[in-house]
Chains A and B, each alone.
Chain A
Amino acid sequence: MDEIKNVSLEMKDYIASSGAETLSWCMQCGLCTNLCPWRLVPGEVSENFNIRKMQRLGQLGLEGFEEENILFACVTCGMCQINCPRNVEIIDNVRSMRNTTVGAGFLPAHLRPIAGSLHANGNPWSGEREKRAAWQNGLDIPAFTEDTEYLLFVCCTSCYDTRSQKIAKSIVRLLKAAGVNFGVLTAEENCCGESIRKLGDEELFQKLAQGNIDLFKRNGVKKIITTSPHCLYAFKKDYPELGGEFEVMHYSEVLAQLVKEGKLAFPEELVRKVTFHDPCYLGRHNQVFDPPRELIQAIPGVEFVELDRSRNKSLCCAGGGGRIWAEVPMGERFGELRITGAVEKQADTLVTACPYCIIMLDDACAGLEKGDVLQVMEMSELLCKALDPK
């Protein structure tokens, strides 16, 4: 309680105007801080990151929220927001607080290359734009035309990251097996911009989003299937603000519907004990819980078991909100808790349905050297194994 802090309404309004409309709704009950996953791990960030206090500083326009290990610690998992007694849009508040510095050109050092690559290459992985569709050669994936029903929008991660490309390929194989009328525009697509918007670079997000919206409209895209829950979020929640109205589904929703309609079946028996990690952006943010479970349990021989923290209470893999690019010491990674959780359930396969989660869970599984007892798989890969022995 040393020197006196001056309330700055100008700063409060500056934060509010950059997207934090519900900042004043918060009655400071503190539930968000107490439900935040950072409480489940030790370490310097866990001690300092207090989302309630951060929003309080914003409410009064006081300084102190901009420190990197506070402002950029939030993984935007939504655990606070979904339970907030006042329905405060906490993630929007975090995003707009980040925008106050990022918008003035002050992105944290480790994130500058990400923004640079997005500006230059339309993807955060410094991959050349021309090579975006390289993973597709030899798979004769139909291009999207006027009369194609669905556009398959593949996440940049699954375009450039070799491990992640397998996800894209298995999804394509499944869609073909189910006879889905889909096509791709991959080469001309930009990153959906979900992460960079959460990092607070509103200008860059709008540039990427507008590019995609124009591309989709030019090609008469009506329905979009996404491989990543983050793209699902962006197209469903953010793009409408820029006039991009599309019917958007995650691939698990399409496949689950087709299984119900009998258009897709899994003849191969897989004797596995599978548990499912609900990606925050598929589950909590978009309330898609059952399709992945229906698909997994449609595989003969699979024994399914729920993790303790599942569905709305799922524990984030810490990949969201740009944290996938953050350096987190071992022992402080949420993903590790997911691995130990799965091992405790005696599961031999931990399945999830998001490329970011795969990176974080693979990383944690390797870190804990649990690779021998637990296999981390993306759902489409598991489904392909059960599709046919080929």
Chain B
Amino acid sequence: MDKKTAVYICTGCGIGESLDIDALVKVAAKEGKVPVCKTHGFFCGSEGLAQIKNDLENEGVNSVVIAGCSSRVNYDVFDFGPSVLTERANIRELVTWTHPANDEDTQMMAEDNLRMSLAKIKHVEPPEPFCGENMVKTVLVVGGGLTGITAALEAAKTGYKTVLVEKNQALGGWLNGLHRLAPRKAPYTEPEEVDIANKIKELSLYPDLKVYTGAEIEEIAGAPGMFEVSIRQDSGIARERVGSVILATGAVPYDATKLDHLAYGKFDNVITAQKLEELAGQGEIVRPGDGKAVQSIAFIQCAGSRDPEHLPYCSAVCCVESLKQATYLKEQNPEAAVYIFYKDLRAPGEYERLYKKVQQDGVIFVRGDITGIDEDDEKNLIVKAQDVLTQSEISTESVDMVVLATGMVPTTAFGENPEAQGETESDDKAAASEVILKSNLLNLAYRQGPELPTLKYGFSDSNFICFPYETRRTGIYAAGSVRAPMDEASCVEDAAGAALKAIQCMELSDQGSAVHPRVWDLSFPEFAMQRCTQCKRCTVECPFGAINEDEKANPLPNPTRCRRCGVCMGACPERIISFKNYSVPMIGSMIKAIEVPDEDEEKPRILVFACENDAYPALDMAGINGLRYNSWVRIVPVRCLGSINLVWIADTLSNGIDGILLLGCKHGDDYQCHFVKGSELAEYRLSKVSETLDRLSLESDRVRMEEVSIVDYDKIPAILDSFAERLEELGPNPYKGF
């Protein structure tokens, strides 16, 4: 678009007293040659705003640079609608609030920030949303257990077409094997009937809800809003076009045959909790072997769970399940002798009331490890254990049956590991470093692998506390026990939550917008295919598997899969990838806009790439709290450190700037990067940049990366100033003045 740019320099909040405003106007009008440039003491006030609005309506201005406060404040006041390009030059928090007033360097800093904004707005085009053809808003739910059925119902109730695919002939999954459910409502003392049958019936109330049973997903191709799903059902293939996917394939009990220390398989009457549910379903609980009515029973908790040799995690539901099952025995015979052997009795929240009731029914709780299980000649079992509470080893009288409360394993934890077969190229490993097991659930036609990335213990869970649905594959949300050990009540909530996220993704994709965390970002990556050298860096490094490959390894982008993080842009050595409002030349031009004083003026320059999510807010907070740091820094906000292209490093250094600092999120196990491995990739790429530095005979110390979160704002001055000191030791950049 042909832009008529106006610059508005606000002199409020101490800016006027700190800077030479006329000089700033000169930068905009003379250097930037902008047609309109105004100053005002209070642009966010009504009077100031009126001037801007007037220019927009009557002067044909369609792109605005407001030099003043940070874009994190007055966002609503300076929002002039999508047709107007708005750029905020931060000369308050990053300049006047953190540097001395009426100081030459502070002035240069402000001018550079303005120059950078002007350069940026030249390269920014208003993004046109990506509109795929024949976009649909149908939700696909894979897995017909409690979670899957609930997710399908919730989506349908919200008026969306839904497709439910279940592997078995019957819907209901785990609940089909349950005799009763743990109590989900006050007074939380009576187990409830398993209401899965009428939930299944409810599915038929919704004409737009199609159910496939005895069916598996052959393949899911495409992207959110335009998934092509082929479903194999009794040797035929059905096709569905869906907008988003909910993975609800649940978890299965831990393989009890591995529990030989608990005598499973050695004695007939050592059974699993699942088996007891089955027995209870058939009426009076009797021993499978000899049909003897069970008068005495011992539950053993953490059978496999909380055990480094088996499942290191706690499966969260087994304690409450055993309490529930204890009520079966007491209901059958109030005098029954029931033991529960436990490590910690984990009946959180309102389940404490069930624990109390079961105690009042006379169940005996023994805290301690099992030391042995023997069998007497009538196949009864004698359990020996530590009784912590009397500091002694105890042995029970013989019990008819022992029940192992086995843990749960997600269905995503099974399937062979392609890496083990060496299928992915070796150099990918460093970057990709992600395992994707072939668990035959989604069979995604994704270049990076057929399923969601397999995470710790196999659970495909989000890595964030406040964003439990932040998934690694846009539009594909895991819900229920496939995601984390959880009980039925949580599965129901989880299913409804995932349904909303699936709906949200379709609505946003339909308008060409990204999903969380860059909701309302209409831009998407465009590839100048003619310059592509099929190096596959983008298709491998994309954290969200958004880019496929054709047979010649050319990247095939899928805009609705993309989170708009720019990691591909940072990866591409040929710089062929760019967004309408975020491109390599844009940042390149900002870097070049910085005036780099000559060596003798002893005014070094430091370029700071600051991640928008964590680092930039931290810099802002440093300003709000009036901290002080050196005025050599020039701050360029980026969507993610992963989007930093190495060419910027080269441009910056060859431009004479003395050092480059990357400020981004923590990476590693407890990573904070919302684009999963943006900052990790940046660090990995930095290790590669040392060759280019050596070629330019520059010290690798000139480029540094620091992890910062918003609450670390008080460490910002130390980080910036210590880097400045290091650069002083290194001396000025030899390329100054070229």
Contacts and interface: CB of A to CB of B under 8 A. Distances in A.
Interface of A: 1, 4-9, 12, 22, 24-28, 52-53, 56-57, 59-60, 62, 86
A25 B387 CA distance: 17
A62 B355 CA distance: 23
Contacts of A86: 356, 359
A1 B392 contact: yes
A4 B390 CA distance: 12
Given A24-B360, A24-B362, A7 B393 contact: no
A27 B359 contact: yes
A9 to B, nearest CB: 5
User: Which of B389, B391, B394 has the most A CB atoms < 10 Å from its CB?
Assistant: B389
Given A9-B397, A24-B360, 14 more contacts: A1-B391, A1-B392, A1-B393, A5-B395, A7-B395, A7-B396, A9-B337, A27-B356, A27-B365, A52-B389, A60-B366, A60-B387, A62-B390, A86-B356
17 contacts: A1-B386, A1-B392, A4-B395, A5-B393, A6-B394, A7-B364, A8-B397, A12-B364, A24-B360, A24-B361, A24-B364, A25-B356, A26-B359, A28-B365, A28-B389, A60-B387, A86-B356
Given A27-B365, A57-B390, A60-B364, A4 B359 contact: no
Interface in B355-397: 355-356, 359-367, 384, 386-387, 389-397
Max chain B Cβ within 10 angstroms of own Cβ: one of A7, A22, A52, A62 = A7
Contacts of B363: 24
Nearest to B384: A4
Interface in B557-577: none
A28 B367 contact: yes
Contacts of B394: 4-7, 60, 62
A62 B391 CA distance: 12
Nearest to A8: B397
Contacts of A5: 387, 390, 392-395
A4 B385 CA distance: 9
Contacts of B386: 1
A89 to B, nearest CB: 12
A53 B388 CA distance: 10
Contacts of A9: 337, 397
A15 B391 CA distance: 21
A6 to B, nearest CB: 5
A52 B360 CA distance: 17
Contact of A56 (B362, B389, B393): B389
Contact of B359 (A25, A52, A62): A25
A116 B644 CA distance: 96
Nearest to B356: A86
B136 to A, nearest CB: 54
A24 B359 contact: yes
Q: List 3 A-B pairs, minimum CB-CB distance, nearest first.
A: A24-B362, A56-B389, A4-B393
A353 B712 CA distance: 64
B141 to A, nearest CB: 41
B298 to A, nearest CB: 11
Nearest to A26: B359
Nearest to A64: B390
Interface in B534-549: none
A25 B364 CA distance: 10
A12 B337 CA distance: 11
A59 B356 contact: no
Contacts of A56: 387, 389-390
Nearest to B392: A5
A1 B386 CA distance: 9
A8 B396 CA distance: 8
Contacts of A28: 365, 367, 389
Contact of B364 (A53, A57, A59): A59
Nearest to B360: A25
A97 to B, nearest CB: 15
Contacts of B397: 6-9
Contacts of A8: 397
A6 B365 contact: no
Contacts of B345: 27
Contacts of B365: 27-28
Contacts of B392: 1, 4-5, 62
Contacts of A22: 360
A5 B371 CA distance: 13
A78 B391 CA distance: 26
Contacts of B387: 5, 56, 60
Interface in B392-450: 392-397
A57 B390 CA distance: 7
A144 to B, nearest CB: 43
A28 B344 CA distance: 12
Nearest to A3: B393
Contacts of B390: 5, 53, 56-57, 60, 62
